[in-house]
């Protein structure tokens, strides 16, 4: 960013630097150079001083040299012609008797980013690779990578690559690791550095000499190596065993990742490694550095996906400290919810209860939602707490509790009666739109069990004109119609008002259309409306999907110890697909229109309605399957879901696909027969994996579709629906 008077500053600095009096006084001269660097750091453009700085590089003072080199590296690309002047000095320094000066000059020369640099640096680099001093060799090795990055499209120099591979045997550990890094950069297009058996074993034997940074990096490189035999595998694992308990978290975690990767065929070894690393992982969760704590927690969460019980006894370690930043508290709460069992449930709930009154509303809401999650298993205790929280009469708490109630009723129908009683007795209503929507949904869906429902609803209808959020208005319309269906006598009078208002005066098109839709529906008669509007009041089969099951370790091992777990969904696209299922609002939407055809005449392939229709007997299916031609065959690109059969069935049922039969367990080839109906057509399909005859079915699921009568559009829709449902279960398990 340009500062005011920057030109003045540069002019003044130049005057000072070219002043012979200043040049004579070493200390003053150095002070001015320091000043230049200071301005550079602040973002001031001091590139105009390049000439003067080049002069200053000819000095014996190493500190001054370093400062000038820093300057030159920054501006060399802007002033390539002037930078060439500096190269002579640098090349002279590369032959200096002092290895530190040699290394320094070589490193900085390689950092110049300008075209045509290669011809000047190639010779010093090659000389540097054979230097006596390890310091210079380190620099030269990375110099090779820098040289390559200057001209990324040129052919790879075979002699340098060979020399680097040879230097893997260098006595200096940093040179060894730098060689790996440089080869990785240079051979990026060819898949990086090759780790064969001699190299892998050499690296493993050198592990003890490396410092912790190099250790964790070498461990990452070793992920590429596949041992030939089990004996070799166990030799490697026992060599690395000590590193699992390294006091450096990054080494311990990198070792664990390698263990999980190498022992992917030996689940007991994996489990044992996880058990042994649980102590260092827990220690990072309590580390003094908050950032490390956060990273530790994220990885604990990942481990818990397949070993939920591993940290069960340590649940107290995940209690929040009051001074911890909220990003840590959120993670800890998520972990606590997963760790709840019969023994600790009351203690955990008591702890979560104390977070509900936190100063930060977000934290309080997250704590309430966490209690709601636990309530799916331990509903009684949690409902007591949630009801007690309503007594606090705090807006944000009330709103969060009502939202939690809504989710709870949806997932756990047995708690409906208790929730309805509490909601009926609750005097104050939420003020924010999320909370209002939740309350209205509860009123509409379970109006028959809440005695005061019509009166509460009337209050909202009276306030409709001042309501700002269109989502609340839509929810109000839906709730009013639903309530009319279950309690017509009390609601009939008030139903007309919101419909009239929304049709006549509302400016938001969505709301108006929704109102019109209900109006026309009601014109068709009450029974017709009931058929369309009411749907299932809860969906326990959803909890089959959302309820955590133990996943195989291989699901997450590939992202373990990367940025993935920290970023959540940003870096790993797999999780995106699942998040949609957790949104209560989409649920309400789907449930609202269960059987209505969503497709318009010219819709895209995603929007297709499937229906179950009358069940098909096995014989009919078989006969039709044999009679019909395969119309469509597609490789889905992911393996079959390893979920329990009933999960798969429930998931398919959700999207109205009926499962007829499938191969039990892990039998190969694995097959499943499914069928569904779309607009006047019957679709039969076979899912296949691991069949020798079918091409491409080794790794991925292949779907073959038959249909009667033929409707290509429906097939495309069916396949996309099938994909969308199988993908999330696959990634969840």
Ranges within 300-319 binding another protein (CB under 8 A): 314, 316-317, 319
Q: Are 169 and 208 in contact (CB under 8 A)?
A: no
Residues 212-271 that bind another protein (CB under 8 A): 212-214, 216-217, 220, 245-250, 253-254
Residues 118-137 that bind another protein (CB under 8 A): none
Residues in contact with another protein, counted by CB under 8 A, come to a total of: 86
CB of 641 to another protein, least distance (A): 26
Q: Which stretch binds another protein (CB under 8 A): 334-342, 350-358, 575-583, 686-694?
A: 350-358
d(CA 542, CA 412): 10
Residue closer to another protein by CB (options 42, 630) is 42
CB of 280 to another protein, least distance (A): 7
Whether cis (ω within 30° of 0) applies to the bond prior to 602 is: no
**Nearest by Cα to 304 from 351, 262, 331, 339:** 339
CB of 181 to another protein, least distance (A): 5
* β-bridge pairing 632-635 and 658-662: unpaired
For residue 312, give Cα distances in angstroms to 297, 309, 348. Answer: 14, 5, 12
For residue 475, give Cα distances in angstroms to 344, 424, 445, 515, 526. Answer: 38, 19, 11, 11, 20
Residues 370-399 that bind another protein (CB under 8 A): 388, 391-394
- Contact pattern from residue 83 through residue 102 relative to another protein, giving x for each residue in contact according to CB under 8 A and a dash for the rest: -----------------x--
Residues 677-716 that bind another protein (CB under 8 A): none
Quickly tell me which residue has 């797999």 as its tokens: 574
Which one of 1, 27, 60, 468 is in contact with another protein (CB under 8 A)? 1
d(CA 718, CA 192): 41
Residue closer to another protein by CB (options 256, 685) is 256
d(CA 239, CA 236): 5
- Contact pattern from residue 550 through residue 589 relative to another protein, giving x for each residue in contact according to CB under 8 A and a dash for the rest: -----------xxxxxxx--xx------------------
d(CA 513, CA 709): 35
Quickly tell me which residue has 């509409």 as its tokens: 444
Beta bridge partners of 707: 683
Which one of 82, 85, 271, 292 is in contact with another protein (CB under 8 A)? 292
Q: Roughly what angle, to the nearest 10 degrees, separates helices 230-240 and 249-262?
A: 170
**Residues 6 or more apart whose Cβ sits within 8 Å of residue 291:** none
d(CA 33, CA 25): 12
Which one of 283, 486, 581, 628 is in contact with another protein (CB under 8 A)? 283
Q: Which stretch binds another protein (CB under 8 A): 354-362, 520-528, 583-591, 613-621?
A: 354-362
CB of 220 to another protein, least distance (A): 7
CB of 248 to another protein, least distance (A): 7
Whether cis (ω within 30° of 0) applies to the bond prior to 709 is: yes
Neighbour-count burial of 130, counting CB atoms closer than 10 A to its CB (0-12 exposed, 13-18 middle, 19+ buried):
exposed
Which one of 5, 171, 321, 488 is in contact with another protein (CB under 8 A)? 321
362 binds another protein (CB under 8 A): no
Residues 144-203 that bind another protein (CB under 8 A): 145-146, 149, 174, 177-178, 181
Residue closer to another protein by CB (options 196, 357) is 357
CB of 571 to another protein, least distance (A): 7
């Amino acid at each position: 960013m340009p500062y005011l008077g920057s030109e003045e500053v540069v002019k003044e600095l130049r005057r000072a630097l070219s002043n012979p009096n200043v040049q004579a006084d070493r200390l003053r001269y150095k002070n001015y150079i320091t000043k230049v660097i200071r301005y550079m750091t602040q973002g001031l453009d001091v590139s105009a001083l390049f000439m003067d700085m080049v002069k200053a590089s000819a000095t014996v003072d190493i500190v001054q040299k370093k400062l000038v080199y820093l300057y030159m590296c920054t501006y060399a690309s802007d002033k390539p012609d002037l930078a060439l002047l500096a190269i002579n000095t640098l090349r002279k320094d590369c032959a200096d008797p002092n290895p530190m000066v040699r290394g320094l000059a070589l490193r900085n020369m390689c950092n110049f980013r300008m075209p045509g640099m290669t011809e000047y640096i190639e010779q010093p680099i090659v000389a540097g690779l054979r230097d006596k001093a390890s310091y210079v060799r380190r620099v030269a090795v990375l110099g090779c990578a820098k040289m390559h990055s200057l001209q990324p499209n040129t052919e790879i120099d075979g002699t340098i690559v060979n020399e680097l591979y040879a230097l893997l045997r260098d006595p200096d550990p940093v040179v060894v690791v730098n060689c790996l890094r440089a080869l990785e950069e240079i051979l990026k297009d060819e898949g990086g550095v090759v780790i064969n058996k001699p190299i892998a074993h050499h690296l493993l034997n050198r592990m003890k000499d490396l410092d912790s940074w190099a250790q964790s990096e070498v461990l990452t490189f070793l992920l590429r190596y596949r041992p030939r035999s089990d004996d070799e595998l166990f030799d490697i694992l026992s060599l690395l065993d000590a590193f699992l308990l390294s006091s450096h978290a990054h080494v311990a975690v990198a070792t664990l990742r390698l263990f999980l990767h190498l022992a992917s065929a030996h689940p007991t070894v994996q489990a044992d490694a996880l058990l042994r690393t649980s102590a260092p992982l827990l220690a990072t969760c309590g580390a003094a550095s908050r950032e490390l704590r956060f990273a530790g927690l994220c990885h604990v969460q990942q481990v818990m996906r397949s070993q939920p019980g591993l940290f069960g006894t340590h649940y107290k370690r995940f209690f929040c400290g009051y001074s911890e930043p909220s990003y840590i508290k959120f993670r800890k709460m998520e972990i606590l919810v997963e760790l709840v069992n019969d023994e600790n449930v009351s203690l955990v709930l008591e702890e979560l209860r104390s977070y509900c009154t936190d100063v930060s509303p977000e934290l309080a809401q997250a704590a309430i939602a966490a209690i709601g999650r636990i309530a799916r298993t331990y509903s009684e205790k949690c409902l007591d707490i949630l009801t007690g929280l309503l007594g606090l009469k705090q807006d944000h708490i009330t709103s969060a509790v009502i939202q939690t109630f809504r989710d709870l009723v949806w997932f756990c129908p047995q708690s409906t009666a208790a929730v309805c009683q509490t909601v009926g007795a609750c005097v104050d209503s939420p003020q924010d739109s999320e909370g209002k929507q939740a309350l209205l949904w509860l009123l509409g869906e379970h109006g028959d069990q809440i005695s005061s429902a019509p009166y509460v609803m009337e209050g909202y209808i009276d306030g409709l004109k001042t309501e700002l959020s269109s989502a609340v208005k839509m929810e109000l319309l839906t709730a009013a119609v639903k309530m009319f269906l279950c309690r017509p006598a009390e609601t009939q009078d008030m139903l007309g008002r919101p419909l009239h208002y929304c049709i006549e005066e509302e400016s938001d098109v969505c709301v108006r259309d929704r109102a019109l839709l209900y109006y026309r529906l009601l014109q068709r008669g009450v029974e017709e409306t009931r058929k369309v509007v009411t749907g299932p009041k809860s969906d326990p089969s959803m909890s089959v999907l959302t309820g955590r099951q133990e996943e195989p370790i291989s699901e997450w091992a590939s992202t373990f110890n990367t940025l993935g777990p920290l970023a959540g969904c940003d870096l790993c696209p797999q999780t995106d697909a699942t998040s949609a299922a957790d949104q209560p609002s989409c649920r309400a939407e789907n449930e609202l229109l269960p059987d209505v055809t969503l497709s318009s005449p010219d819709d895209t392939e995603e929007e297709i309605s499937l229906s179950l229709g009358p069940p098909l007997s096995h014989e009919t299916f078989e006969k039709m399957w044999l009679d019909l031609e395969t119309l469509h065959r597609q490789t889905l690109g992911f393996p079959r879901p390893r979920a329990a059969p009933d999960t798969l069935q429930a998931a398919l049922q959700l999207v109205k696909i009926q499962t007829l039969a499938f191969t039990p367990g892990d039998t190969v080839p694995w097959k499943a027969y499914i069928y569904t109906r779309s607009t006047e057509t019957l679709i039969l399909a076979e899912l296949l994996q691991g069949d020798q005859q079918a091409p491409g079915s080794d790794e991925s699921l292949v779907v073959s579709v038959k249909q009667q009568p033929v409707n290509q559009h429906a097939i495309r829709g069916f396949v996309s629906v099938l994909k969308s449902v199988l993908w999330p279960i696959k990634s969840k398990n």
